[in-house]
Amino acid sequence: MADHTPPLESNQLISSDIPLLAPPPPAMVNGDGAGQVILVQVNPGEAFTIRREDGQFQCITGPAQVPMMSPNGSVPPIYVPPGYVSQIIEENGVRRVLVLPQPEFHPGSHSPLHPPPHPPLPAFIPHPAMMPPPPHHMYSTVSGAGDMSTQYIPQYHAPHVFTEQDSHSPHGRPAFVHRDERTSKTYERLQKKLKERQGGSQPKEKPSSPPLSPQKNHCSSPTDIQNGSPGATTGLVKGKQVCKIKGSPRIDTESEELDEDSKALQALLSNISKPVVSDIQARTVALSWSPPLAPANGDSDVACVPETFLYEVTVSYSGKDGKFKSAYSGEELSATLEDLRPATDYHARVQAVCNCLHGSPSDAVSFTTLSCEPDTPSPPRKTNGTKSTLVLQWKAPCDNGSKIQNYVLEWDEGKGAGAFEQCYYGPQKQYRVTKLSPASRYCFRLAAQNDMGISGFSEAIDFYTSGSVPATPDSPELVRAGVTWLCVQWRRPAGSPAEDDIAYTLEMEEENSGYGFKPRYDGDELACTVKNLRRSTKYRFRVAAYNSEGKSSPSQAVELHTCPDKPGAPCRLAVKGKVHASSFKMAWDSPKDDGGSAITDYIVEMAEGPNGNKWEKIYSGSVLEYTCERLKPGCVYQVRVYCVSEGGQSPLSETLQVQSLAVPPGPCVPPRLVGKPKAREIQLRWGHPQVDGGCPVSCYSLEVCPAQTEDYREVFQGPELECTVISLLPGRTYCFRLRAANKAGYGPFSDRCEVTTAPGAPDQCRAPHVVCKSPTCAVVSWEVPAGNGANVTEYRMEWGAAEGSMQSCYCGPALTHEMKGLLPATTYFCRIQAVSVAGAGPFSDVVLCVTPCSVPAAVSCLQAMEESELDSPHFCPSTCLAVQWDAPCDHGSEITSYCVDFGDRQPLSVGRTTSYVIENLQPDTSYRIRIQALNSIGAGPFSHTIKLKTKPLPPGPPRLECTAYTHQTLKLKWGEGPAKALATDSIQYHLQMEDRNGRFVSLYRGPCHTHKVQRLSESTSYKFCIQAFNEAGEGPYSNVYTFTTPRSPPAPLKAPRIERLDDHSCEVSWEAVPPMKGDPIIYSLQSMIGNTDFKQIFRGSATSFHVSGLQLNCEYRFRACAIRQCQIPGGSQDLTGPYSATVSFSSLRNELPSSGAKSSADATRTKRTLSDEQCAAVILVLFAIISILIAFVIQYFVIK
């Protein structure tokens, strides 16, 4: 059951004669009582259809729940199609109606469940509160059916309503059962209300046009789709559907059975014969057909053959293969096709439809409609006419299969009363009507006649006869004049009849053109606008009238004038003469184009400011110049001019921008004092002058003079509105005056302003007097300065070795001060300042004082020198010490020498240097060193003492020995000690080897006593030397040692191969080794029996050897090696290489000769040792394990 039940329309009812098509889904029945609501469950893919009293349908598609109301309050019967029965079950208090197939069912028989005791009655009434909204409707027009009404087709999917067919009515429709009296009354009351609501105004449908039966998926017939109008049908079908075949109550198999039923039903629908034609008329024909027939052998898969089908009749008038159009759609087995063409060949075919399944169209039947009277002709037309005749012509209409014999032309004889009389009867298509009155109206109509009869008359049409020539019209009149156009009108000639068609010709003559009158208009209008004329020009116009009879005389000529155009803008607007501060004179030229009329006035407008927002009229006259007065100085003005003539106002001229001259600003307000006056400065402030002279003030000038004098001097000039006047005397009165300036110049001075300064600090002291009593002591004295109205309370003295870094060293009332702790031969600076209650006065001039010379100062920064800082190649750190120091202050006397004291020995005297190397010292001995500087006055104090120690003597070179050697390596050893270096070793060694160029290159540098030289060549001599060094330095190199690498032995051979020959012999072979540097290679083969020693059994250059005399049941082992025969001057020397891996060989007796090679192979077993690759892998694994153990030991015992 669906979760969301779509609402239903409240005004739809179920009719008593609705066919219920297919088995319904289970219906949920809830509640009891008179107003019982039944929920009809519509499953997905199914539909529930309700037909109303007016024949229209309401379709509800699943999933949905349809709320229905039982009128009598009891559970209503559920009507199912033939072959099905309904069963009511109750689950959890809810009753369900299941539709199940009947075991034995024969189509056409009555159901034994419910006999039909009553006529049909409605089963359900939709609940009015839960009806869905009406679906979207689609209306299709009916073609070829006369005045048939518009067919209503609801837009929904195929309706499926389920019934139980108990009995058949005489018309083949199922009858509803169990209709009690209460139900009948309720049904009649509802029917009455529905008819009252409709008002009985709906037209009755024709018997041949019942309401259209609902179709599944609102599909249309194939012919409708082909014709491009899916809703266009010519026949209507009564709403009746056949049952759905083979319904099943199970949802999971319903769709699969539906597909099989559809195929069987479609095959049944295709078995339809062609229609039968009867009652052929000119525009109608009657068709009848038989319903689809089941196969004769009875093998049809259709379980229930529907009683009624929907039939669609399609018609083509372009042959059997032409385009067929739908002409009828309904359930009837006959139809009358209307609106056909007379005497036309048609082909018709019929197609059966059921549940939107279309069968194949039947074979087409052909017929030809009968002939009839001609179509109504078109009205005649007038081809010529005079005052008394009219010539009329017409075209022949469609003859509808019979040739037109005559035409009937009727007229009203000009009476206009609506009564027509025949004026012509014959086969011609034109006729001349004579003896008519001039300028009169006559009405005509036309009909055609053939052997079948006479057609209807055409529409009546009026024609007029010609009249006389029009009279001379009056002269044209001016309606409106423009610059380049004139609008002219005239009247219809007097006495001309209203029905007379009169046209007019308007002629125009231009003044002084010499071409005379020329036509400018020809038509039936009574007014004309003549364009493209010249401005302010006189033109003459006349008009003549004409009709079909002739042309009248032209009217009297009238003179009309075009309007003048507005003039152009005045040009060359400029300033005439010099611009003054309050006036200037301007002039302009008249416009180049006056528009055809004289200029009457010139208007000058002026606006103040560069933007020109507000314009004022300042002049109006005919003069071409004007003087603008009463202007503001330095102000910008905008000026423009335009002129006026009879043609109107001209455009504005170009704007002229003029700026009046500026004047110097007016007098300023006297400056005012800001704050309290100080002793030597005051701050003044002022405002802008009231009159700026038309130009912004650019600067101000402030002048000052002492009181009671006129000696002014300028103390400020600038754009600021305040300034600070400095360099004044304390307690004095000063006079100030101010003036402003702009680009026009300075304005007048303001009134005088007097200001008195406050008392000030004392005056500057005179330079003090300095006397040096000793190199480290000086006495300073000074005099009392002027106090400027206040007594001096104290003096401040500043003293320093530099003029910019003097510091205060005295503050008090005394006039002398003694400075102590000075440096000899040093320049000092001194100055004095006096202080009173008004403040501190300025410092005096700076005085220089130089103290006398003295002995040098103590030497500082005494330190030892590094060996890298020395350039002497003979410096030995074991017997020498190098010191350096910074030169001390000489105190005015140049230093002559230094004295070096380094212990019990006599101090050394050195020259004027700051570094010295003390030689001939004892190795590994500590010394205390200090330095003293000397000058011409005496010796200065000693420096601080430093302690230095000489290094021990460097070690000598050790003896170099070769402890092990191969043809590619030499292991060298020197000195006594372990092979590995210890952390306490202070002596390190430097080993060098001579390269191919004869230069010694470094091989090793470190504390170890052994070194292995690798990647050497065989039989080659190499030269080595060694050197020892420690913190004392590097010792001498040893003598050159020469060591020679031996010749390399041959490489080891691979394990020999053994081939068994018989029980007592075998053949042993091995790989060949190429000669080594020209030395030949021989081989040695050894064998061993059991656990005895190896014995040589072969020596030579061959690579194989035949071993014989082998003992049975013994195990032999063989190995081989290569021997290099080195060629030396004294003879040859053999170098034996390593032996190969051992190969085992067992000699067994062949006990069973018949076993052949198998027994021989079992007896002979060759055992080989590991190959070279396997040996290398084993060695690599062992080496990795040993390395890990060594690393662990070093980590645990050495590092930790």
Q: Which residues make beta-bridge pairs with 750?
A: none
R_g (Cα) of the chain, nearest Å: 72
Query: In this predicted model, what pLDDT tens digit does every residue of 753-773 receive, in sequence order?
Result: 999 888 888 888 999 999 998
Q: Is the backbone of residue 218 left (phi > 0), alpha (psi -120 to 50) or beta? A: left
**806 vs 231, 233, 803, 833, 1075, CA distance in Å?**
119, 125, 6, 13, 99
- Looking only at Cα atoms, what is the longest distance across the chain? 181
Reduce the secondary structure of 1125-1148 to three states and give it as a string. Answer: EEEECCEEEEEECCCCCCEEEEEC
Position 207 scores a pLDDT of: 35
Give the closest residue to 28 by CA, choosing from 59, 8, 5. Answer: 5
Position 76 scores a pLDDT of: 58
Position 424 scores a pLDDT of: 94
Query: In this predicted model, what pLDDT tens digit does every residue of 635-658 receive, in sequence order?
Result: 999 999 999 998 889 999 999 999
Exposed e or buried b for every residue in 847-882, given b needs 16+ CB within 10 A? bebebbbbbbbbbeebeeeeeeeeeeeebbbbbbbb
Position 80 scores a pLDDT of: 58
Helices (H) and strands (E) in the chain, counts: 5, 83
Side chain identity, residue 961: E
Tokens 């009848």 map to which residue?
288
CA distance 774 to 866: 43
Give the closest residue to 25 by CA, choosing from 71, 58, 57, 66. Answer: 66
CA distance 835 to 899: 53
66 class by beta-carbon count within 10 Å (0-12 exposed, 13-18 middle, 19+ buried): buried
Q: Show Cβ contacts of residue 854 under 8 Å, excluding neighbours closer than 6 positions.
A: 775, 824, 825, 891, 892, 893, 937
Position 542 scores a pLDDT of: 94
Q: Which two tokens stand for residue 1015?
A: 């990647």
Strand bridging mode 137-140 / 47-51: unpaired
Position 51 scores a pLDDT of: 63
CA distance 832 to 491: 125
Tokens 């372990």 map to which residue?
978
Position 1200 scores a pLDDT of: 63
CA distance 1137 to 1141: 13
Position 21 scores a pLDDT of: 35
**8 Å CB contact between 645 and 598:** yes
Position 81 scores a pLDDT of: 56
Position 104 scores a pLDDT of: 43
CA distance 65 to 69: 13
Position 39 scores a pLDDT of: 66
348 class by beta-carbon count within 10 Å (0-12 exposed, 13-18 middle, 19+ buried): buried
DSSP, collapsed to helix, strand or coil, labels residue 1034 as strand
Tokens 């402003």 map to which residue?
740
CA distance 881 to 1122: 67
Mean pLDDT by 10 residues, the chain (1200 residues): 37 35 38 53 68 67 69 56 60 57 42 36 38 36 34 34 35 38 64 62 38 34 34 32 33 47 83 90 92 67 70 89 89 90 92 86 91 93 88 93 92 86 93 87 92 92 82 91 92 79 90 86 93 90 88 91 90 91 92 88 91 87 92 90 91 90 90 89 91 88 90 92 90 90 90 87 89 90 83 91 88 92 89 89 91 88 84 80 89 89 83 87 87 89 89 86 90 80 74 92 91 90 91 85 91 91 90 89 91 90 91 89 87 87 80 41 45 82 93 82
CA distance 757 to 749: 23
**456 vs 376, 418, 459, 1150, CA distance in Å?**
5, 17, 10, 141
pTM above 0.85, yes or no: no
Q: Show Cβ contacts of residue 590 under 8 Å, excluding neighbours closer than 6 positions.
A: 570, 599, 624, 643
Q: Show Cβ contacts of residue 1189 under 8 Å, excluding neighbours closer than 6 positions.
A: none
CA distance 551 to 468: 10
Position 372 scores a pLDDT of: 93
Give the closest residue to 353 by CA, choosing from 306, 304, 315. Answer: 306
CA distance 916 to 919: 10
Angle formed at CA 967 by CA 962 and CA 972, multiple of 5 degrees: 20
